[in-house]
Amino acid sequence: MDYKFQEIEKKWQKQWVDDQTYKVTEDKSRPKYYVLNMFPYPSGAGLHVGHPLGYIASDIYARYKRLKGFNVLNPMGYDAYGLPAEQYAIKTGQHPAITTEQNIAHYREQLDKIGFSFDWDREVRTCDPKYYHWTQWAFEKMFNSYYDNRLKKAQPIEQLIAHFEQQGTEGLDVAQTDDTLHFTADEWKAMDEKQKSDTMMNYRIAYKGETMVNWCAGLGTVLANDEVVEGVSVRGGFPVVQKKMSQWCLRVSAYAQRLLDGLDTIQWSDSITETQKNWIGRSEGTEVVFTSVTPEGDKERKSEFTIFTTRADTMFGVTFMVLAPESELVPELTSADQKAEVDKYLDYVKSRTELDRMSDRRVTGVFSGSYAINPFTGDRIPIWISEYVLAGYGTGAIMAVPAHDSRDYAFAKHFNLPIIPLIEGADVSEESFDAKEGIVMNS
């Protein structure tokens, strides 16, 4: 007897639709369960093999939980905004609203043929005004809020303005961009509207700031890291460079500890939990001020800069400093003799995404021509510029302790810089002490 799967599947898929088998309504008598799938981008090519690979697994689990008596919400939607929709519209000469609607209809047909147990009454489309109405609402809420460190939560921005009117910044404990910003109530009142607006950007949870982005002139837009490969855009193969641009940011760092605490309340694997901790990136440490010395002909120019370190006790093992290529200190600390070499290196880094720099272990860098004074020993320490330091970490400048940090060690070995162990008898001839012993001693 032949298994006429095409007839059988069509029959039961129609039956499920007619009977609204997977429709979900509120039922307080049963425990709730939410199965969340990744929304696909509805391209003209339709589903690829990776889509059902994930959806089948979650659908099996959704069906299992239903059989166990749970009231299961298993929705589907479409991530229908962004560069792919725009580029597809340009390529085909059609309005993205038309092509996106057509592509969604094609995706829906494919998903239905597979027989997933989605409740299509709960469908979400990110291009639907009924959806992005709420994303805009959320943005406005964040824009009109600040984070109170004492209460550990957001508060209305009007409360902060009232505090400024009465006390200026005195007595504040809030998350802010510039911790050195201080003013009195009278100074606040003397500011014009633009000055007040600019000042408030230091406190809002959604604020405008300057950050490094992947800029593609050929596409006329900013790209995500996964849209760039080896310095060119995946779509079109246009050159991509790192560029500082003003854009909207979210003060996620204010919630770092709450995010870490939340990891203890969810059932994730150790590897995913560790990945999340690294993404959150919260570090406890201290700031250290170094004096810099830059040769200028027969004289020397001195200034100061600050670094963040999680291990101030390793100060005696510092043998060089490293600046992120995007650091504002780079032009200030680049000597005239080294300017050409530094400029050449900065041109190279512009084609590298932050993801490339974090994952790629190649060793690159250039000497700035300046030195820092170790505040403990008085030694002169060369200041280098390297892509393995990111502008977003700490102050964008680090003190390097190669004997006890594997990336510092690789850099020191490559450029023949001193390596001073801080533990008696530590053998660092082949690798750093932390790499050998499995000890984390990041500087």
Residue whose C-alpha is closest to residue 393's, from 307, 265, 291: 307
The pLDDT value given to residue 439: 45
pLDDT digits (tens, 9 = 90+) for 129-164: 999 999 999 999 999 999 999 999 999 999 999 999
Give the pLDDT of residue 436: 53
pLDDT at 385: 98
With beta carbons less than 8 A apart as the criterion, state whether 132 and 36 touch: no
Between CA 440 and CA 428 the distance in angstroms is 15
Report long-range pairs for 428-433 (Cβ below 8 Å, ≥24 apart): 428/402, 428/403, 431/406, 432/402, 432/403, 432/404, 432/405, 432/406, 432/408, 433/403, 433/404
Two tokens at 105? 């209809």
pLDDT at residue 441 in the model: 45
Which residues of the chain have a pLDDT value below 50? 437-443
Distance CA 363, CA 246 (A): 30
The Cα–Cα gap between 391 and 324 comes to 5
- C-alpha closest to that of 335 among 374, 372, 300, 291: 300
Residue 149 has a pLDDT of 94
Can you tell me the distance from the alpha carbon of 189 to that of 3, in angstroms, rounded to the nearest whole number? Answer: 81
pLDDT value at position 356?
Answer: 80
| pTM, two decimal places | 0.77
Alpha helices by DSSP H, listed for 121-251, are 129-143, 157-167, 185-190, 193-200
Model pLDDT for residues 260-316, shown as the tens digit of each residue:
999 999 989 999 999 999 888 888 889 899 999 999 988 999 999 999 898 888 999
- Asked if residue 206 lies in contact with residue 318, where contact means CB atoms within 8 angstroms, the answer is no
DSSP-derived 3-state class of residue 407: helix
Q: Report which of 266, 361, 391, 379 is spatially closest to residue 319, judged by C-alpha positions.
A: 379
β-pair partners for 215: 222, 241
State the pLDDT at residue 152: 92
